[in-house]
Chains A and B, each alone.
Chain A
Amino acid sequence: MNAGLGDAADIAGILASLIVVAAMLIWVERRLLAVWQDRLGPNRVGPLGLMQVVADMIKMFFKEDWIPPFADKAVFVLAPTIVFITMLTGFAVVPFAPGVGIIDFNFGLLYFLAMSSLSVYSVVLAGYASGNKYSLLGGLRAAAQTVSYEVFMGISIMGVVMLAGTFNLREIVEAQRGGWFIIPQFLGFIIFLIAVVAESRRTPLDLPEAEQELVAGFHTEYSGMKFGMFFVGEYLAITLSSAMIVTLFFGGWLGPWLPPLLWFCLKTAVGIMFFILLRGSLPRPRYDQLMAFGWKVLLPAALVNLLATGAVVLSLQG
Chain B
Amino acid sequence: MDSTADKIAIPSDSPQIVRELTERTAANDVLMQPTCDRITTLWVSRQDLRGMLLYLKSQTYTLLFDLTAIDERRRTHRPALPGSDFTVVYHLLSFQRNEDIRLKVALVEDDLSLPTVTHIWPSANWYEREVWDMFGIAFDGHPHLKRILMPPTWQGHPLRKDHYARATEAEPFSLSDEQQEIEQDALRFVPEEWGMRRSGDGTDFMFLNMGPNHPSVHGVFRIALQLDGEEIVDALPDIGYHHRGAEKMGERQSWHTYIPYTDRVDYLGGSMNNLPYVLSVEQLACIQVPERAQVIRVMICELYRLASHLLFYGTYTQDLGQMSPIFYMFIDREKVFDIIESISGARMHSSYFRIGGVAMDLPKGWDKRIREFIDYLPARLDQYDKMVLQNGTLKRRTQGVGSYNTDEAIDWSVTGPNLRATGFAWDYRKARPYSGYENFEFDIPTGRHGDCYDRCTVRVEEMRQSLRIIRQCLDNMPEGPHKAYHPLATPPPKERTLHDIETLIQHFLNVSWGPVIPAGECCMTVEATKGLNGYYLTSDGGTMSYRTRIRTPSFPHLQMIPMMCRGMMIPDLVAILASIDFVMADVDR
A interface, CB within 8 angstroms of B: 33, 36-39, 133-134, 137, 203-204, 206, 210-215, 279-289
A-B complex: 7 closest residue pairs judged by Cβ atoms: A284-B321, A283-B322, A37-B327, A283-B320, A212-B216, A286-B571, A283-B321
List which B407-451 residues lie within 8 A (CB) of chain A: none
Structural contact, A286 and B331, CB atoms closer than 8 A:
no
Q: Jot down 26 A-B pairs with beta carbons below 8 A, ordered by A.
A: A33-B324, A38-B327, A38-B328, A39-B327, A137-B230, A137-B570, A203-B321, A203-B323, A210-B321, A210-B571, A212-B318, A212-B319, A212-B320, A212-B574, A214-B570, A279-B323, A280-B323, A280-B324, A282-B391, A284-B322, A286-B396, A286-B397, A286-B569, A287-B230, A287-B571, A288-B569
A-side contacts of B331, CB under 8 Å = 38
User: In the complex the two chains form, what is the Cα distance from A158 to B208 in whole Å?
Assistant: 43
A-side contacts of B77, CB under 8 Å = none
Shortest CB distance B217–A (Å): 10
B-side contacts of A283, CB under 8 Å = 317, 320-322, 391, 393-394, 397
- Which of B318, B393, B569 sits near A282, CB closer than 8 Å? B393
Shortest CB distance B225–A (Å): 10
- Which of A206, A214, A289 sits near B396, CB closer than 8 Å? A289
Structural contact, A284 and B318, CB atoms closer than 8 A:
no
User: In the complex the two chains form, what is the Cα distance from A106 to B74 in whole Å?
Assistant: 91
Beyond A206-B321, A284-B397, 11 additional contacts (C-beta under 8 Å) are A38-B331, A133-B208, A134-B208, A212-B319, A215-B215, A281-B323, A282-B391, A283-B317, A283-B391, A287-B230, A287-B569
Shortest CB distance A289–B (Å): 6
User: Any chain A CB within 8 A of the CB of B462?
Assistant: no
User: Any chain A CB within 8 A of the CB of B287?
Assistant: no
Structural contact, A213 and B393, CB atoms closer than 8 A:
no
B-side contacts of A288, CB under 8 Å = 569
Binary interface profile of B, 386-406, with partner A (CB < 8 Å = 1, else 0)? 000001011011000000000
User: In the complex the two chains form, what is the Cα distance from A206 to B215 in whole Å?
Assistant: 16
A-side contacts of B317, CB under 8 Å = 283
Structural contact, B214 and A36, CB atoms closer than 8 A:
no
Q: Which residue of B lies closest to A206 (CB)?
A: B321
- Which of B215, B324, B391, B572 sits near A211, CB closer than 8 Å? B215
User: In the complex the two chains form, what is the Cα distance from A38 to B394 in whole Å?
Assistant: 22
User: Any chain A CB within 8 A of the CB of B81?
Assistant: no
Binary interface profile of B, 283-304, with partner A (CB < 8 Å = 1, else 0)? 0000000000000000000000
Q: Which residue of A lies closest to B321 (CB)?
A: A284
A-side contacts of B397, CB under 8 Å = 283-286, 289
- Which of B208, B230, B328, B396 sits near A37, CB closer than 8 Å? B328
User: In the complex the two chains form, what is the Cα distance from A210 to B574 in whole Å?
Assistant: 11
User: Any chain A CB within 8 A of the CB of B359?
Assistant: no
A-side contacts of B393, CB under 8 Å = 204, 282-285
Binary interface profile of B, 472-502, with partner A (CB < 8 Å = 1, else 0)? 0000000000000000000000000000000
B-side contacts of A211, CB under 8 Å = 215
B-side contacts of A212, CB under 8 Å = 215-216, 318-321, 574
User: In the complex the two chains form, what is the Cα distance from A215 to B215 in whole Å?
Assistant: 6
A-side contacts of B321, CB under 8 Å = 203-204, 206, 210, 212, 282-284
A-side contacts of B571, CB under 8 Å = 210, 213, 284, 286-287
A-side contacts of B318, CB under 8 Å = 212
Scoring A37, A203, A213 by chain B CB atoms within 10 A of each residue's CB, the highest score goes to A213
User: Any chain A CB within 8 A of the CB of B165?
Assistant: no
Q: Which residue of A lies closest to B568 (CB)?
A: A286
B-side contacts of A204, CB under 8 Å = 321, 393
Q: Which residue of A lies closest to B214 (CB)?
A: A215
List which B205-256 residues lie within 8 A (CB) of chain A: 206, 208, 214-216, 230
Structural contact, B322 and A282, CB atoms closer than 8 A:
yes
User: In the complex the two chains form, what is the Cα distance from A43 to B570 in whole Å?
Assistant: 37
Structural contact, B572 and A281, CB atoms closer than 8 A:
no
List which B180-224 residues lie within 8 A (CB) of chain A: 206, 208, 214-216
B-side contacts of A134, CB under 8 Å = 208
Shortest CB distance B100–A (Å): 39
Contacts A38-B331, A212-B215 known; A33 to B323 CB distance under 8 Å? Answer: yes
A-side contacts of B206, CB under 8 Å = 133
User: In the complex the two chains form, what is the Cα distance from A204 to B391 in whole Å?
Assistant: 13
B-side contacts of A210, CB under 8 Å = 321, 571
Shortest CB distance B315–A (Å): 10
Q: Which residue of A lies closest to B387 (CB)?
A: A281
User: In the complex the two chains form, what is the Cα distance from A85 to B206 in whole Å?
Assistant: 34
Structural contact, B320 and A284, CB atoms closer than 8 A:
yes
List which B536-589 residues lie within 8 A (CB) of chain A: 569-572, 574
Contacts A284-B320, A287-B569 known; A213 to B327 CB distance under 8 Å? Answer: no
Q: Which residue of B lies closest to A207 (CB)?
A: B571
B-side contacts of A137, CB under 8 Å = 230, 570
Shortest CB distance B333–A (Å): 13
B-side contacts of A285, CB under 8 Å = 393, 396-397
A-side contacts of B320, CB under 8 Å = 212, 283-284
User: In the complex the two chains form, what is the Cα distance from A220 to B214 in whole Å?
Assistant: 12
A-side contacts of B570, CB under 8 Å = 137, 213-214
A-side contacts of B574, CB under 8 Å = 212-213
User: In the complex the two chains form, what is the Cα distance from A212 to B314 in whole Å?
Assistant: 13
Shortest CB distance A276–B (Å): 11
A-side contacts of B396, CB under 8 Å = 285-286, 289
Shortest CB distance A246–B (Å): 25
User: In the complex the two chains form, what is the Cα distance from A282 to B206 in whole Å?
Assistant: 31
User: In the complex the two chains form, what is the Cα distance from A133 to B205 in whole Å?
Assistant: 12
Q: Which residue of A lies closest to B206 (CB)?
A: A133
Shortest CB distance A295–B (Å): 16
Binary interface profile of B, 241-278, with partner A (CB < 8 Å = 1, else 0)? 00000000000000000000000000000000000000
Binary interface profile of B, 307-338, with partner A (CB < 8 Å = 1, else 0)? 00000000001111111100110010000000
